[in-house]
Structure 1
Amino acid sequence: MTPIRTVLAATDLSAPARHAVLRAASIARHTGARLALQHVVSLGALDALRQLFAAQPGDLRQRLLDEARDEVHELAAELCAPHVASADIHLSAGSALAEITSHADALDADLLVLGARGASLVRDLAVGSTTERVLRKTGRPLLVVRGDARHDYRRVLIPVDFSARSLKAIAMARMLAPQAEIVLLHAFEVPFEGRLRHAGVSDAELAGLLANAKREAGAQMAELIAAAGLPAAAVQSVVVHGDASVRILDQQQLQGCELIVIGKRGQGPLEELLLGSVTTHILSQARGDVLVI
């Protein structure tokens, strides 16, 4: 897998976004990547602010941009300097979605990092709508930071479907958290399970189908672990029956994982993670960070 060479952290300068900047700096340090910080000032918010003033200084926009630039530099000095020699800083005005994706393309960023919440009128980087739109628009890995970034990831949860995408998710997780214990999760369901009951399939027959599905998944899990070259001491595998979005959150809590790594598209119960309900649910409900690749 391509190494991480450039990390781009987009910040709205709010308190929650500080976690994202600190996590990005930490990742840049241990991967040797270039770190870039971006702040987008919303033109719509500036226009709304202008309408609130009966009279205003003619240079109000520039003064706000200058203030934001100073704050980004202060943020870089405080949070990034202990981890990297320097951070490239980019300030722009416009749509957060357009500016973030455009700058990521210009840098050819290998990883985007955003905070889990936005915070103010002028600093319009609202994770939720913006994050989902960035996910839809970009093909780049996106890390949404919600948790404490003062220490490295210690446990990482990776939902897998045994496709080549699962190998990519594992490789990315190992780059971001080389010392972390990895928990591989496969949630399975028997096709038409509910209808089988209504069709008269007995509980014993259904239990047999579930047992066979779990055995097959266990064998595929062993093959995946071998293909990924994971050391036995650094990985735990979990095969469970049930809805993927529910089981992912259950296991995150049970296993104490600070990071969930999921693919945009999968197979079976993990199909269409990017645009379906699973990713939306995980991004909104996960207690820790989420990396979507």
Structure 2
Amino acid sequence: MRNNPRLLLATDLSARCDRALDRAMLLSRQLSGSLVAAHVVENRIVNANLSGDEEIRAAILDDFPELAGIERLVIAHGSVPSTIAGLADELHCDLIITGVARYNNLGDFIVGTAVDHLVRQARVPVLVVKRRARHDYQRLLVATDFSSCSRHALEEAAILFPTAPIRLVHAYHVPYESWLKSEGVREEIYAETEKELHDFLAGSNIGTLEGRLETRPVYGELETVVAQQLRETRSDLLVLGTHGKSGFAYATVGSHAADLLASMPCDILMIRETHR
């Protein structure tokens, strides 16, 4: 990601998007970047009280005066995911910031279909904001399966947040565990996993990570391991990598990616390995 990045806030401007708006404004200051806000009007939705884009713009600024200080407010029409992804390319944005579809006090986050599709279609990283933006991100948790896309996610996150401590976690299993109960087998698998982790890091451009990267192979199911590591580290940002060709369905955490995006309680940064 370049210096002084351009950030794109994708918002429906409802109350549930306040968190994404606050995080976008905080992040633009933290990164010394510029901020563009985009509101997409679905083609099938017609508001009889608003006859054109300028009236929509005026109504938005009346409700959200904070947006008057951003670089640009874009009113667009079409399918939300594809339009936002297209705007990110057209406006040369480096990061898309959006919110979740619904949040309740029980901690149940539900990512809407539009967010899922946006992650699939966007060629730049997508930050899904769930928590209130009370401060800069303090600690990052990066999940890895030792793929090139998870390496790219680690490197990009390290550049984007150059001072935050990072824990790199890999969830592993013992094959045929119900049959192989030997403690020696588990120790052997752990040693192999540690070697894979060492080799993974040896192939990374991690010069900027010295002194702030901690690695942790952890036995268990991915979702359980990630949740436990978030609690243990008190990380406020989870970073996942996705493949450029396969898209969101084949993220670095495989078919579990959608589950993680929906269930984890913190903000999630999806970084796609692709060439612009």
Return the TM-score normalized by structure 2. Answer: 0.81
Counterpart of 1:60, as a letter, is N
Name the residue aligned to 1:107. 91
Count of matched residue positions in the alignment of Structure 1 and Structure 2: 261
Name the residue aligned to 1:170. 154
Superposition RMSD in Å: 3.0
Indicate conservation of the 8 Å contact 2:8/2:37, yes or no. Answer: yes
Indicate conservation of the 8 Å contact 1:162/1:224, yes or no. Answer: no
Structure-2 separation of matches of 1:188 and 1:265: 20
Structure-1 separation of matches of 2:185 and 2:57: 62
Structure-1 separation of matches of 2:68 and 2:132: 15
Question: Shift in Å at residue 76 of structure 1?
Answer: 6.1
Name the residue aligned to 1:287. 265
Question: Shift in Å at residue 34 of structure 1?
Answer: 2.3
Match among 61, 66, 81 for residue 78 of structure 1: 66
Aligned partner of residue 167 in structure 2, secondary structure: strand
Question: Shift in Å at residue 204 of structure 1?
Answer: 3.7
Structure-1 separation of matches of 2:240 and 2:73: 29
Unaligned runs of 5+ in 2: 104-109, 272-276
Change in CA separation of 1:249 and 1:61 when aligned onto 2, cut-off 3 Å: same
Change in CA separation of 1:204 and 1:29 when aligned onto 2, cut-off 3 Å: closer
Counterpart of 1:210, as a letter, is I
Change in CA separation of 1:96 and 1:257 when aligned onto 2, cut-off 3 Å: same
Correspondence 1:1-293 to 2 at 5 A: 2-3=2-3, 5-46=5-46, 60-62=49-51, 65-66=53-54, 68-74=56-62, 77-78=65-66, 81=69, 86-117=70-101, 127-190=111-174, 193-194=175-176, 197-198=178-179, 201-217=180-196, 219-220=198-199, 223=202, 227-232=206-211, 234-265=212-243, 272-273=250-251, 276-293=254-271
Change in CA separation of 1:93 and 1:272 when aligned onto 2, cut-off 3 Å: closer
Structure-1 separation of matches of 2:21 and 2:83: 18
Structure-2 separation of matches of 1:164 and 1:275: 12
Structure-2 separation of matches of 1:227 and 1:92: 39
Name the residue aligned to 1:122. none
Cα deviation, 1:127-178, whole Å, max 9, x if unaligned, reads 5211111122222110000111131001111112344434432332234433
Change in CA separation of 1:157 and 1:286 when aligned onto 2, cut-off 3 Å: same
Structure-2 separation of matches of 1:220 and 1:189: 19
Indicate conservation of the 8 Å contact 2:67/2:73, yes or no. Answer: no
Change in CA separation of 1:71 and 1:290 when aligned onto 2, cut-off 3 Å: farther
Name the residue aligned to 1:52. none
Cα deviation, 1:75-129, whole Å, max 9, x if unaligned, reads 6642674xxxx3211012322123212211211211111111269xxxxxx9521
Structure-2 separation of matches of 1:170 and 1:2: 16
Unaligned runs of 5+ in 1: 50-58, 120-125
Identify, as 1 or 2, the structure richer in strand: 2
| Structure having the higher Rg | 1
Aligned partner of residue 19 in structure 2, secondary structure: helix
Identify, as 1 or 2, the structure richer in helix: 1
Return the TM-score normalized by structure 1. Answer: 0.76
